[in-house]
Chains A and B, each alone.
Chain A
Amino acid sequence: MTCVAIAGADYCVIAADTRLSVGYIIYTRDYSKICKLADKCVMASSGFQGDLKALQKNLAAKHLIYQHQHNKQMSCPAMAQLLSNTLYYKRFFPYFTFNILGGLDSDGKGCVFTYDAVGSYERVGYSAHGTGAGLIIPVLDNQLKSPSPLLLPAKDAVTPLLEMEAVDLVKDVFASATERDIYTGDKVEILVINASGIRHELMELRKD
């Protein structure tokens, strides 16, 4: 159970594997952990999927109210704040989800927001959550150099990589994580958000 997001100059890649498992049992190889919240805003989460479903429904309802009141879709930064507030609202009985929000901000630049279970969030250039995150983050730190917070502070907010390169990188890290992490595999669902909309890709991974 892993999810990853990378922000580029005019795109955002967000990906999650499709395996749902408990212990050594695989419930299904075909489960989507990604949810489109608004036109240019997508959320991927690892953690307890029951809470994820409830969280997604909650945000969708809040988004509908926003659209009725403001006559437009929520921007990604606005949705980011809403998600943070929604998570903190249940500070003492949390949603057991580790979320990543990806999309385009109001200027059309890629943005990724990373969360913990109770709503603490930060805008970053890339992020990963879940069982395979520990295997993936070091690789992204190395490959996406400039937005890496390891050069304190991060030099760029987004990676200078091209969209194709970022998608290839995501496919590579998932393939590597699948090799070592038993909970990650089957397929990876990759969404690319750019000015022309949202592109959807599915890549096969090892099934063991």
Chain B
Amino acid sequence: MFRNQYDTDVTTWSPAGRLFQVEYAMEAVKQGAAAVGLRSTSHVVLATVNKAASDLSSHQRKVFKIDDHIGVAIAGLTADGRVLSRYLRNECINHSFVYESPLPVSRLVVRLADKAQVCTQRSWKRPFGVGLLVAGLDETGAHLYYNCPSGNYFEYQAFAIGSRSQAAKTFMERRFEAFNGYSRDELIKDAIFAIKETLQGEKLTSSICTVAVVGIDEPFHMLDQKTIQEVIDSIEIKEDDASAAAADQAPMQEEDKSSEAAAADQAPMQEEDKSSEAAPMDI
């Protein structure tokens, strides 16, 4: 992307029919630290990489509990994410107050998307610079949504956002068809593994990642460091065994390009379009 004369205002269309300010907002999401979400029929898991601004500072909060049955993970401008989390919490509380029942996830994401759309059509506003993975459970089952700064939202079986998220997506593309049958622990393990993929070589420790679960009979909550470290250790033990035992690449290493192409055609499992022909917000 390059600077041009149509990208100054969010209310200016380009001749190609694109709103560049909105696309730039989505770039901000891609710059943020990675966040992944996975869903089975009974549980949804969110995992994030927590970057710290420096060694002296604390890690940024990227996972927020919205209600007992909904949580979000964010990537991008975390301040925007914090503000939106407050809005989502209010919506849930108001709905519970009036209807004495939890707000269905699909309705919450629509309200969030509408709020984001407003910022794409006012000259005195700017789009939110944060992408949200909304994980929730309601009467219709377990759901994972991705909300874009553009005001679009999609439901996913599994998704990853933020920097180096393609590595996590590739990992999940090979396995997502089995996710519905996964147990809670298998889901957590794959989430942590997906996060590991985004680190690409850096050491994964429980201090730099946050994992949260929501499930049937399990309100949304974050896992403690000890539990996360145990899963990380078990992944690493398996990896050491695999590389020691086999001469060729272990199945967990990403090399399978053919399934990637097949997975890309899957509807409704749509992926973010990296090519510049279609504007990202039109997917």
Chain A residues in contact with chain B, CB under 8 A? 57, 61, 64-65, 68
Q: How far is the CB of A95 from chain B (nearest CB, A)?
A: 16
Interface centre among B86, B90, B97 (most CB of A within 10 A): B97
Q: How far is the CA of A64 from the CA of B89 in the complex (A)?
A: 9
Contacting residues of chain B (64-114) with chain A, CB-CB under 8 angstroms: 65, 86, 89-90, 93, 96-97
Using a Cβ–Cβ cut-off of 8 Å, how many residues does chain B contribute to the interface with A? 7
Chain B residues in contact with chain A, CB under 8 A? 65, 86, 89-90, 93, 96-97
Q: Given A65-B93, A68-B65, output 10 extra A-B contacts at Cβ < 8 Å.
A: A57-B97, A61-B93, A61-B96, A61-B97, A64-B89, A64-B93, A65-B89, A65-B90, A68-B86, A68-B89
Ordered by A's residue number, 12 sampled pairs between the chains whose C-beta atoms are within 8 Å are A57-B97, A61-B93, A61-B96, A61-B97, A64-B89, A64-B93, A65-B89, A65-B90, A65-B93, A68-B65, A68-B86, A68-B89
> Quick one: closest A residue to B65, CB to CB?
A68
Interface centre among A61, A64, A65, A68 (most CB of B within 10 A): A68
- On chain A, the residues within 8 Å of B90 by CB distance are 65
> Quick one: closest A residue to B100, CB to CB?
A57
> Quick one: closest A residue to B96, CB to CB?
A61
- On chain A, the residues within 8 Å of B89 by CB distance are 64-65, 68
- On chain A, the residues within 8 Å of B65 by CB distance are 68
Q: How far is the CA of A61 from the CA of B96 in the complex (A)?
A: 9
> Quick one: closest B residue to A64, CB to CB?
B93
Q: How far is the CA of A64 from the CA of B95 in the complex (A)?
A: 13
Q: How far is the CA of A120 from the CA of B96 in the complex (A)?
A: 29
